[in-house]
Amino acid sequence: MSVHANRAVARTALAVLCALAPLATGCAQPSTSPIVALRTQHGWEDLHLTKSLATTQALAAFGGTLYAAGEFWDVAGWPHATFVSWNGALWSLAGAQPNARVDALAAYAGRLYAGGAFTQASFDTLRYIGAWDGSAWHAVGGGMDWDVLALSPYGDKLAAAGVFGHAGAVPALHVAVWDGAAWHALGAGLDDVVWALAEYHGELIAGGSFLNAGGSPAQYIAGWNGSTWHALGTASDLNGTVRALYVLHDTLFAGGQFTTAAGVPAMHVACWNGVRWDSVGAGLGRYPDEPVLSFVADHDRLVAGGAFTGGAAEWSAGSWTPKGFLSGEVDALAVSGMRLYAGGGFVPAPGLPQNGVTRWVE
């Protein structure tokens, strides 16, 4: 959910490099194999999603198409949209539109699942989660009783998390799994909002605003091992909300509003190698309210997006490098057709992408 959309513009006078400095990290490093194509930075391309306002919350490649979700005004002749598709040249409405903001997308069992604040699409009742088959929406086990903010495959199931307290008719505090036929709770759940999910070493990892998992202390991040919740490291290793999770090179990356990890400075980004937390270079952002909000792997490099100056940066060979410059926070990142896309609440600025979705140009 967009929380700092105007912050970056107020600080455009700041040099992007001020926030980014090389520093060794104990977590796995990206591959530097010569078979990996290196990119030459040329900048972000405006894809002209809308001439009005757009806030993209999620991006996903599915069935050879890029889908963007959020809230968009004046798209393809429609005054308001929440779920649109890009065929490489044009934007289109993707079927009946969910009636409120879409916050999360994930592919599972041949369908693209969407979660958010919506309760229906046309005459189909969806209740905060729906499954898109490429042409129509399908309900998912009665849905939830409140917003879904994160979705992730987990083994042969789909995990959903957010603000809700029930999944279908099952009590499930902020997290649940769908097995294709029914919803299941994961123990006693979490005691506050979950913003991010990922699978790591066979466990489901949840990140959010919670302080307890399964009734035991676990601040802002916890793992589900199939039967119980547990902290990653000690219960207080991270000192602020986790908003994004991503796995690359056998390493779990966490992004959010925290500034330390296991007592080590970790400005908005940290990594977990299965045993301990480490910083990731000098981190990202100069201020506490410039969180990392999204990750993706692009050409075997980790790219982070967020509310820090410039909006996106790439982690490679032990340091962060600014990924061009965007005039607002980056809430979503995706790779489709070997191209990197960013979505968010870009603020109008001369010569810069400002319409919700942009593509990196080689």
Domain limits of the chain? 7-27+47-355
> Is the separation of the CB atoms in 355 and 348 below 8 Å?
no
Statement: residue 347 has pLDDT above 80: no
pTM of the model: 0.89
Please, what is the average pLDDT of the chain?
Answer: 88
CB atoms within 10 A of CB 97: 21
Sign of the Cα torsion 258, 264, 269, 274 reads: negative
Token look-up 């061009």 returns 324
pLDDT for position 17: 28
Within 8 A by CB and 6+ apart from 114, the residues are: 58, 69, 83, 98, 102, 104, 105, 129, 130, 131, 132, 151
Which of 236, 214, 291 lies closest to 2, judged by CA?
291
Statement: residue 187 has pLDDT above 50: yes
Q: What is the pLDDT of residues 273-328, one digit of tens each?
A: 999 999 999 999 999 899 999 999 999 999 999 999 999 999 998 999 999 999 88
Residue 160: pLDDT band (50, 70, 90) is very high
Q: How large is the average pLDDT for residues 156-184?
A: 98
d(CA 346, CA 332): 12
Question: Pseudo-torsion of CA 172, 175, 178, 182, nearest 10°?
Answer: 10
- Residue 322 sits at φ, ψ, to 5 deg, of -55, 140
Fold designation for 7-27+47-355? Methylamine Dehydrogenase; Chain H (2.130.10)
Token look-up 């302080």 returns 211
Sheet holding 339-346, edge to edge: 44-46, 357-360, 339-346, 328-336
Q: What is the pLDDT of residues 17-60, one digit of tens each?
A: 233 333 334 564 433 222 222 233 478 988 888 877 889 999 99
Residue 355: pLDDT band (50, 70, 90) is confident
